[in-house]
Amino acid sequence: MFRMIMVRIGSLLVVLLILTLVVFIIQAVLPADPVRASVGAQATADVVEAKRHELGYDKPLPVQYVNFLGRVIRGDFGESLRTRRPVLEDISKFAPATLELAFCAALLAGLLGLVLGLWSALGSRGAGAARVTMVFLSSAPTFFGAILLILLFYRKLGWLPASGRMSSQYSDSGPTGFLLIDSIIHGDPSQWWDAVRHLILPAFVLALGPAVAIGRVLRSSLLDVMRQDHVRTARAKGLSERTVVLRHALRNASGPALSMAGLQVGLLLAGVVVIELVFAWPGLGLYTQQSIQQADFPAVIGITLVLGIAYVVINAVVDILQLVADPRLQLQKAV
């Protein structure tokens, strides 16, 4: 187990190194001059050259990459051309909103996928209708599904808010930037419930696609496992179908579902940008959209690295969880 985990960590480091190299190459081949953008269009040639020397852009590309890699390791992504603040400072300001939304969506996707997979595999009443409904909603473009839910739950029923993280009577007073946590720290249940109400629609829309994918893979895997000998033996002992599935089939069937969950993280992180725009959610998606509009390349590159690193790390964690959930994988790797 330890050796396999170390192999996964080594692979993680290699992938992260390749990611930084790809981002550096993209930055190097862009037609825009980051030095000119940093000092301003009216700066003289001497000022531009002095800044170019200060930032190391006059050195050979391999040296520039080593310097770039060192800055990334230190968390230095440069200065935003739009806000004139360090990109890491901007990311730390907007990240809590995105992380809170992404975490709630991932948790909801996992729960919905588990329920859908078990419900379908057990052949419970209404499972087919539920599966068809979720597939229909998840197959629609994300923004279209978001607009439909806004029209229904905000405009028609008036049950849920349509934008923002909180109502105007509340303010984010910290200290963590995660509203669900901060409201508990301050002992304010009304603010906590307000934050939950604002999270429901964007988190649900974001979770739909991954939930359906996880549920379908789990159902297929469960049906395969339930035809194996040890499951038939459990049935022969007189155990109920639910007990057989939960105690003897679910763990063995979880490997493919965990793999799918890791892959769906990429879709979830990509969907955050669209969802934040639709729901006016003040997170990294909104920050990215504003940065792209104003050609703020340091900010875009910083966000790309942060999201890419998050995706790679989460998939590595999923691989390790697969080894824990299914010991047979360890034997296969050992062979």
Task: Give which of 3, 12, 196 is closest to 107, Cα–Cα.
Answer: 196
**pLDDT recorded at residue 38:** 67
Largest CA distance in the chain: 86
Distance between CA atoms of residues 239 and 61, nearest Å: 66
> 3-state DSSP: the chain helix, strand, coil percent, rounded to 5?
75, 0, 20
The DSSP-derived string for 287-328 is: HHHHHHHTT-HHHHHHHHHHHHHHHHHHHHHHHHHHHHH-TH
**Cβ atoms 282, 166 nearer than 8 A:** no
Task: Return the structure tokens found at 303.
Answer: 């966000």
How many CB atoms are closer than 10 A to CB 261?
Answer: 26
Query: Can you list the alpha helix ranges (DSSP code H) found in 30-60?
Result: 34-39, 45-55
Give CA–CA dist 284/289, Å, rounded: 9
- Fold for domain 92-293? MetI-like fold (1.10.3720)
Question: What tokens appear for 181 in the block?
Answer: 């946590």
pLDDT by position in tens, the chain (length 335) = 667 667 777 777 888 888 888 888 877 776 666 676 666 667 777 777 887 777 677 788 888 888 888 888 887 887 787 788 888 888 888 888 988 998 899 889 888 888 888 777 776 666 667 667 666 766 767 778 788 888 888 888 888 898 888 887 777 777 888 888 888 888 888 989 999 999 999 999 888 888 888 888 888 887 787 777 777 777 777 777 677 777 767 777 777 777 777 777 777 777 787 888 888 888 888 888 888 877 777 888 888 888 888 877 777 777 777 666 655 555 554 44
**In the chain, where are the structural domains located?**
2-73, 92-293
Q: What does the DSSP 8-state code read for residue 1?
A: -
Amino acid at 268: L
Tell me what pLDDT residue 335 has.
Answer: 43
- Determine the length of the chain: 335
Q: What is the pTM of this model?
A: 0.76
What pLDDT score was predicted for residue 202? 92
Q: 80, 296 in Cβ contact below 8 A?
A: yes
Q: How far apart are CA 68 and CA 101, in angstroms?
A: 30
Return the structure tokens found at 219. Answer: 């159902």
Query: For 133, phi and psi rounded to 5 degrees?
Result: -65, -45
Give the pLDDT of residue 131: 67
